[in-house]
């Protein structure tokens, strides 16, 4: 059984963009285009279909308890993934560019959302245990433990629909 222990953070937009420009100068291939969708369930389980480049994936996740949940991910033919995204998944689909950054002793995944969620930038880090120490990069603003930042929630309530006074604007302080 796979286990995912993950913490999620909002990104300081301008500091991130500056850091990204530095990274792209040294490694222009760090970003990958993702398209993903979710098959509806009513028991708290998440069923996700995803394409990353020319590969498809099916992922099933349990409810999150603390920062931890069970996770099972399987590669599937990209054509199958695309067909399931189109025919089985809730809309709008999640579109994003994911940047994988090694910082300190951890790997950060920074998602720069497109489409209905454009303007939202979230960073995630997977841990070995819930109490693991995290060296926070300068471009991180604050941790978000709110379900509305989950990709599966952004399908139902996209960032573009958040009320203006509710919409998160990262600071660079």
Q: How much is the pTM? A: 0.88
**pLDDT of res. 163:** 78
- Side-chain-side CA neighbours of 18 within 13 Å: the count stands at 9
Q: List residues with catalytic annotation.
A: 38
**pLDDT of res. 61:** 93
Residues 6+ apart with CB under 8 A from 47: 38, 39, 41, 58, 59, 60
Q: Report how far residue 89's alpha carbon sits from residue 39's, in angstroms, rounded to the nearest whole number.
A: 5
What dihedral angle (degrees, nearest 10) is formed by the CA atoms of 46, 51, 52, 57?
60
Strand, coil or helix: 167: coil
**pLDDT of res. 170:** 58
CATH for 3-161 is: 2.40.320.10
Per-residue pLDDT of the chain (173 residues; tens, 9 = 90+): 588 889 999 999 888 888 888 777 777 677 899 999 999 998 889 999 999 989 999 999 998 888 888 999 999 999 999 999 999 999 999 999 999 988 889 999 999 999 999 999 999 999 999 999 999 999 999 999 888 999 999 999 999 999 765 656 555 54
Among candidate residues 52, 48, 28, 30, the one with its CA nearest the CA of residue 39: 48
DSSP 152: H
């Amino acid at each position: 059984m796979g286990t995912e222990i993950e913490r999620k953070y909002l990104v300081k937009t301008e500091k991130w963009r500056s850091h990204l420009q530095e990274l792209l100068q040294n490694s222009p291939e760090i970003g990958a285009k993702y398209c993903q969708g979710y098959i509806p369930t009513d028991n708290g389980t998440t069923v996700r279909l995803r394409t990353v480049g020319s590969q498809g994936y099916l992922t099933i996740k349990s409810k999150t308890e603390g920062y931890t949940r069970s996770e099972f991910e399987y590669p599937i033919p990209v054509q199958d993934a695309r067909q399931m995204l189109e025919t089985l998944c809730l809309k709008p689909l999640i579109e994003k560019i994911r940047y994988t950054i090694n910082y300190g002793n951890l790997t950060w995944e920074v998602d720069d959302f497109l489409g209905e969620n454009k303007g939202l930038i979230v960073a995630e880090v997977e841990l070995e245990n819930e109490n693991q120490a995290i060296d926070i990069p300068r471009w991180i603003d604050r941790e978000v433990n709110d379900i509305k930042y989950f990709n599966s929630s952004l399908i139902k309530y996209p960032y573009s629909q958040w009320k203006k006074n509710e919409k998160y604007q990262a600071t660079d302080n």
